[in-house]
Structure 1
Amino acid sequence: MTSVLGLITFQQYRRAEASRKEAVTEEIKALSASSNALFTLKQEFQALIQGLHAGRQLQAATWLDPETRLQVTSTLGKAVYFVREHNRLEGHTGWIRQASFSPDGQTIATASGDRTVKLWKRDGSLLHTLKGHRDGVYAVAFSPDGQTIASASLDGTIKLWRRDGTFLITLAKHQNKPRTLSFSPDSTLIASGGDDETVKLWKRDGSLIKTLKGHRDAVFDVTFSRDGTIASASLDGTIKLWKQDGTLLKTIQGQGRAVSGVSFSPDGQTLASADLDHNVRLWKRDGTLLKTLKGHQDAVYGVSFSPDGRMIASAGADKVVKLWSPDGTLLATLVGHTSQANGVSFSPDGQTIASAGQDQTVKLWQRANSLMTIFVGHSAEANSVSFSPTGKLVASASNDNTIKLWKPDGTLVRTLKGHDGAVYWVTFSPDGQALASAGYDKTVKLWKPDGTLLKTLEGHRNLVNQVSFSPDGQTLASGSKDRTVKLWKRDGTLIKTLKGHQGVLYGVTFSPDGQMIASASADKTVKLWKRDGTLIKTLQGHGSAVRSVSFSPDGQMIASASEDKTVKLWKRDGTLINTLTGHSDLVNGVSFSHDGQMIASASDDRTVRLWKRDGTPIAILTGYEQGVFGLSFSPDDKTLATSSDDRRVILWNLTGLNLNSLLQESCSWLRDYLETNPNADRDDRQFCNSLPQSKD
């Protein structure tokens, strides 16, 4: 009887345990799906939090199948890699018009419609709430010496406070509402502007020195350059430049119906203006219009240069913050506010961006995510990417007819122009002294890294999809839509034309010993050739066009990528070893890491998959907006460069793709938020506090 009862109890336990596991599994999948949905809506911060919830549970759910674990881990990884919002300041009960950093970057002051100014530590801890205004506070600024805070309110007053929040003095009222204020570089003067159409200059003791008249509508922004020149932006559509004695130096017609913001570049030679016509404009100090930055879908309220002058941030009624380079390239769009973004500012070190929103929050964004670098600059699809042998340069080829050379930090070094049409491939020579490119214009071009065109190889009768250097750098192989592979000397002399494929040539590469050439074709095959052009073997097995082929560094394995959605691994003698499945659309590219232990595949399904040499899945890199084409491992294999149809080149840090590393990175990124934000999940905080901190 006892044994029967024991058996029943055990069966009940098993059923209960199975039900528990099923419930946990469904919850993990639901959290992961929620994270994916939030990411699609570009709410990366919330996606990261949901991904962390899923990852926490996945860590304990050891029974889950490998594919589910891979998918959930990849969802968390996507959020970790793409997130830019680092923290958020929540506590105001009204709109927030401005957030200002102290000169040492350790304190943030926020001005709100709830009639208060709040002072926060940079980690998000609330230090003080400054009360005294009788209406919404529209502007707040620290003096350059860091000792005084000024606030301007719709109650008509400007108040001065000590850094510790002690009230100092109220400046005499504007006739109408003040909207903006700024300290002079030497901290001795305060300039304010408002609805009375004037700019007023004050001493710190409250004495009014001068009233600058000339605007015909409200002054919405005022700022000093480093040399003490004052710029004022007005809803009358103008920017005015003034000396401190009140002399009008220049009136710049803003070309918009109203100018709502203005910022000097650090060197004082360029101004950025924001207007209600949805634009940011860049001007020379003499009033010459340099560039109009278009991208916002509604009025732009705030604009600011970074301290190094290499970036401009703008905030608008379309709820987003946009980051631009001074040449007008849109670098990033930061999405997260649920209502209009009113103002934007950089921290003194330039690494953090604070945006103030109508949604009663200030969002703190990191200028960069150390796990990922995105290169923005191509105006059409990015087809190919290649690391130089030293890893100090990255080359990308695009349908915009150009090749771009970048530093790994994303700095554009130069643009190579010369192809008469799309450029499909670019690669460095083994010695790094040359680049070869292939394109729509039926040519292969050789370049110096300084941009000098060395040689144009002509002979193909149709577009050229790929070009490859031999290991000794003296021979090139090119594959064309004309169904041939051509072998060339480095001086441009044609050596041999390899014929045999019945379809477009998509890929061609040399073996590491230089004795074999592999070619991939739309005829569904990979062909192996001797260097003298003799056909050795035809690899058959793919069900559709083969788009890419790659040798392992030891030369003993070949990987091929196909439109049949698979990657196949072959022995050098043509024996099929394994078929890697998982992509849901055609596979455009495949590449081995330099140590031969990892394989990367790029697909039209908007993912890159990483595999062990034996075909075991490692990770999925997701977050692309369109299909992925190019792949290149850095020389140390710690970084993977990819190029895609969304015009971007992305450098991925590959050092921590497993679940534990991603959880650690998530907790490190969210650390300040979890510790200081009143809305943070306590369980997340407790979990993250139990993990060792990753290096920032």
Structure 2
Amino acid sequence: ADRQAAEAKFGFYPDLEALLASLRAAKSIQDWPGYLSLFKPDSKIQAEVLQTLRMALYSTREYNRREVPQGFEKMFFKPDGTLMIATAEDGTVRLQDFKGRQQPKVFSGHEGDVDLDVSPDSRLLATIDQQGTFRLWNLEGKQEEPRQLTDCISGFTYTDLNLSPTGFGVYDRGISFSPDSKKLLAYLQRVTEKGNSSTICLWETGDKPKLLKQEGNFYSISFNSNNQLVVANQSGNTLSLSDYRSRNQLAEFKNFNQAPSGYLAFSPTLSGNLVFSPISPNGEYLAGLFGDDVSIAYFRSLDSEYWKEFKPISRASSIIFDTEGRLIIGQEGEGIISVYDEPYKINDSLSDALEFELKGHQGGIREVISSSSNGRQLASLGDDNTLVWWKLDKKPLEELELIPNLKSISISPDGKQLAVVGSDDTIRRLDLTGKVLKRFPDIKITIRQIIFNPDGTQLAGVGKDNRIRLLDLNGNQLYKSKNFNKTISQLLFSPDGTQLLVVENDSTVYPQGYDDKNTSTLHRLNLNSKIWKTEPKLWGEIAFSSDGKLLVAQNALPDHYVERGNIFLKELESGEELVKFKSAKYGFDSIGFSTQGGLVVSAERRYLEDNGSHMEEKGYTYVWDMSGKLLTAFKDGHQSKVNESTVDVSTVTSISLSADGSLLATLDTSGNAKLWRIGGLDELIVKGCNWVRDYLETNPNLDESDRNLCKN
């Protein structure tokens, strides 16, 4: 029931709820009383629990959540990646960590409401009260008196113009540091009898802060990634951006009132916000967020000439760029955070750049912040009065061993042994450290490929003579097939061990096109009768589904540019497409399946990219569940050799998985095999508990049984 509850929560509930439900199911199996062993869930249910826990753990990005504390003003990341919270009550500012533990320093002396900001390097705290008194505090070292900045704004009290009898008052105000923490901005916009009035205060922080002040109207103001203070103003139907200090124009966009979504009228009561991407080889980009009842964000390069070139994103309530230029949008009303990777490469719909979505709030997203100092992290504030801490990096696999000088490798179904063919053509059985358990010295023919059968009692191998041989675990030959005319590219046992499938072809596993010259022939051997049966031609790599149906995995054809890099999993007999696995840039060179474990592992085709100083090798190994959900992606360390005039690309030629999917082996063209721990039940419970431990300790709304779930 807990497993089913976990699966029902995927994609619809916060990640932590799905992970907790899957941990409950896994712990119930792990802690099953010995005296009830006759009633323990069968192997099929245990495998399903393992799959669900694995999917929940590897796909969970939500790290912790809590209610917004009283007096909440701001959340920020410290340089070490710790998420902190600043509160202000009765003119006093206090800091606490995400668990609610108060920090010893207290920042007092203001009157009434306080606005504040923390510098990006987390060294300085700036505070402003209703009287317009500015103070700059040092967050490092001992408690000390703040530097009181020269007051430049009086009457900082916010006014709701809808409730003002005169219609006059303050409608927007703000305070922020520059990205390098060396400048501090405060601004105020108000409506007076004489019209709109704006005040800008800009300090250069240091031992003796320097103040610049200017009165004048502006539409929006923000620091760009180059630490310039940029002012946006509208004149007619033109939006212009200029450097506040030098007055130099940085960009101008025509037809501003003819935005793609329709006419936008910017009244004094409708505020706007502009954010700038980090400077990159692709130039600087601008995102604008404008809203009344339904917000619309716009995204485009500063090199654009017309506003109509900007891409609209509807129902946006928060918008930022992270340090690597990813665009992050918090949506209004639906509690979704959308992360767009390299959106500047997309010419058409911005949705093509969507990396993933985060769902952890009920209602809209008020604010999102990011950090990359200790991995990719986000924190979000929702209309549901909840703060959520997200850790976005894919969870790495544990690398176990490197075993060199191999031609073939197969993991035993129980994940405890390896069958290998060495570069010296010797067949061996090894333990997981590479220690030899058994050599097969009596095999006189060179074996190119070897695999375990489903119960781990036999091996099947392909000889250099293109014959198939069955061996016991001591190397004794049990069967030898006829001689095949073409190259054998794949061996596969059926899940029940009654059939051996052989793929015979002249080409690579993933041919570049589909025609009679590069298709493959499938042969089936009935292991009881030893009778062979030949199937129609196919192309791709075959696998079995959990219900015993034969599947085929195929790369997209070269002329299908839109689908390039995707893998299509189909039923072999009907040709029906079941799943599309997305993410690779140029396609995959090798793929492996764990039917029982519900996993697909694929090695991306390697490619070299010029990063400006040298050629850098790109390419990942991806771990998916059978539904097409990406669990993790990692650099597998199979490195190419780059010489002065040639590139010897190291391709992953073989992937092997244990029956339950807990262990992975990758083998490259250089003969190097690597072992990786994906995780069995016990390992995944430990990892899952480590992930949720802080949440279990601090969340006041959990049942006591959940709070004790990971003890001991």
Task: Give the structure-1-normalised TM-score.
Answer: 0.53
Contact residue 260 and residue 274 of structure 1 kept, 8 A: yes
Q: 1:547 to 1:60 in 2, by over 3 A?
A: farther
1:141-186: CA deviations, max 9, x gaps?
Answer: 2164x43112457786654333167672475545554643222456
1:59 aligns with 2:81: no
> Hey, what's the Cα distance between the residues in 1 that align with 2:692 and 2:631?
26
CA displacement at 1:278 relative to structure 2: 2.4
1:32 aligns with 2:47: no
Structure 1 residue runs of 5 or longer lacking an equivalent are 1-28, 373-388, 391-429, 431-468, 474-484, 499-506, 510-516, 520-525, 529-534, 540-544, 552-558, 570-585, 591-601, 608-614, 622-629, 691-696
CA displacement at 1:340 relative to structure 2: 2.2
244-253 vs 345-354, which deviates more? 244-253
Q: 1:689 to 1:45 in 2, by over 3 A?
A: same
SS of alignment partner, residue 381 of structure 2? strand
Contact residue 200 and residue 214 of structure 2 kept, 8 A: yes
In the TM superposition, 1:252-271 aligns within 5 A as: 255=259, 259-267=272-280, 269-271=284-286
CA displacement at 1:536 relative to structure 2: 5.9
* Letter paired with 2:686: Q
Contact residue 545 and residue 595 of structure 2 kept, 8 A: no
Contact residue 111 and residue 151 of structure 1 kept, 8 A: no
Contact residue 320 and residue 328 of structure 2 kept, 8 A: yes
In the TM superposition, 1:82-481 aligns within 5 A as: 82-93=59-70, 98-106=74-82, 108-110=84-86, 119-121=95-97, 125-127=101-103, 140-142=117-119, 144=121, 146-151=122-127, 158-163=134-139, 168=146, 169=148, 171-173=151-153, 175-176=155-156, 177=158, 179-184=173-178, 187-196=181-190, 197-204=198-205, 208-211=211-214, 213-216=216-219, 219=220, 222-226=222-226, 228-232=227-231, 240-244=241-245, 249-250=250-251, 255=259, 259-267=272-280, 269-276=284-291, 277-284=295-302, 292=310, 294=312, 297-304=314-321, 306-309=322-325, 311-318=326-333, 319-327=335-343, 328=350, 329-349=353-373, 351-370=376-395, 470=487
CA displacement at 1:316 relative to structure 2: 3.2
What is the CA RMSD across the aligned residues, in angstroms? 5.3
Partner of 1:518: 522
Q: 1:100 to 1:489 in 2, by over 3 A?
A: closer
* Letter paired with 1:673: Y
CA displacement at 1:362 relative to structure 2: 2.6
Residue 21 of structure 2, aligned match among 23, 27, 50: 50
Q: 1:680 to 1:347 in 2, by over 3 A?
A: farther
SS of alignment partner, residue 50 of structure 2? helix
> Hey, what's the Cα distance between the residues in 2 that align with 1:647 and 1:685?
29
1:433-481: CA deviations, max 9, x gaps?
Answer: xxxxxxxxxxxxxxxxxxxxxxxxxxxxxxxxxxxx94589xxxxxxxx
Contact residue 231 and residue 262 of structure 1 kept, 8 A: no
> Hey, what's the Cα distance between the residues in 1 that align with 2:218 and 2:694?
44
> Hey, what's the Cα distance between the residues in 1 that align with 2:303 and 2:514?
58
Q: 1:550 to 1:245 in 2, by over 3 A?
A: closer
CA displacement at 1:41 relative to structure 2: 0.8
CA displacement at 1:209 relative to structure 2: 1.8
> Hey, what's the Cα distance between the residues in 2 that align with 1:86 and 1:107?
11
> Hey, what's the Cα distance between the residues in 2 that align with 1:230 and 1:317?
28
Partner of 1:669: 691
> Hey, what's the Cα distance between the residues in 1 that align with 2:594 and 2:59?
25
1:538-596: CA deviations, max 9, x gaps?
Answer: 47xxxxx9999867xxxxxxx6569xx53369xxxxxxxxxxxxxxxx98369xxxxxx
Task: Give the structure-2-normalised TM-score.
Answer: 0.52
CA displacement at 1:249 relative to structure 2: 4.9
SS of alignment partner, residue 368 of structure 1? coil
Q: 1:143 to 1:330 in 2, by over 3 A?
A: closer
Partner of 2:444: none
Contact residue 487 and residue 506 of structure 2 kept, 8 A: no
SS of alignment partner, residue 619 of structure 1? coil
CA displacement at 1:298 relative to structure 2: 1.5
| Count of residues in Structure 1 that have an aligned counterpart in Structure 2 | 463
Contact residue 566 and residue 587 of structure 1 kept, 8 A: no
Q: 1:200 to 1:673 in 2, by over 3 A?
A: same
> Hey, what's the Cα distance between the residues in 1 that align with 2:218 and 2:522?
71
1:598-630: CA deviations, max 9, x gaps?
Answer: xxxx994999xxxxxxx9974335xxxxxxxx8
Contact residue 548 and residue 561 of structure 1 kept, 8 A: no
Contact residue 101 and residue 142 of structure 1 kept, 8 A: no
Q: 1:185 to 1:48 in 2, by over 3 A?
A: closer
CA displacement at 1:336 relative to structure 2: 0.6
* Letter paired with 1:214: N
Partner of 1:72: 49
> Hey, what's the Cα distance between the residues in 2 that align with 1:51 and 1:175?
54
CA displacement at 1:633 relative to structure 2: 6.5
* Letter paired with 1:262: V
> Hey, what's the Cα distance between the residues in 1 that align with 2:26 and 2:533?
47
* Letter paired with 1:666: G
Q: 1:241 to 1:316 in 2, by over 3 A?
A: farther
1:567 aligns with 2:549: yes
Contact residue 186 and residue 201 of structure 2 kept, 8 A: yes
Q: 1:561 to 1:70 in 2, by over 3 A?
A: closer
1:251-276: CA deviations, max 9, x gaps?
Answer: 55764655324134145833333333
SS of alignment partner, residue 225 of structure 1? coil
> Hey, what's the Cα distance between the residues in 2 that align with 1:263 and 1:674?
38
Contact residue 102 and residue 142 of structure 1 kept, 8 A: no
CA displacement at 1:222 relative to structure 2: 2.2
Q: 1:194 to 1:493 in 2, by over 3 A?
A: closer
> Hey, what's the Cα distance between the residues in 2 that align with 1:298 and 1:264?
20
Contact residue 87 and residue 673 of structure 1 kept, 8 A: yes
CA displacement at 1:231 relative to structure 2: 2.5
CA displacement at 1:323 relative to structure 2: 0.9
> Hey, what's the Cα distance between the residues in 1 that align with 2:96 and 2:216?
36
CA displacement at 1:343 relative to structure 2: 2.0
* Letter paired with 1:192: A
> Hey, what's the Cα distance between the residues in 2 that align with 1:187 and 1:639?
39
SS of alignment partner, residue 271 of structure 1? strand
Q: 1:368 to 1:340 in 2, by over 3 A?
A: same
SS of alignment partner, residue 88 of structure 1? strand
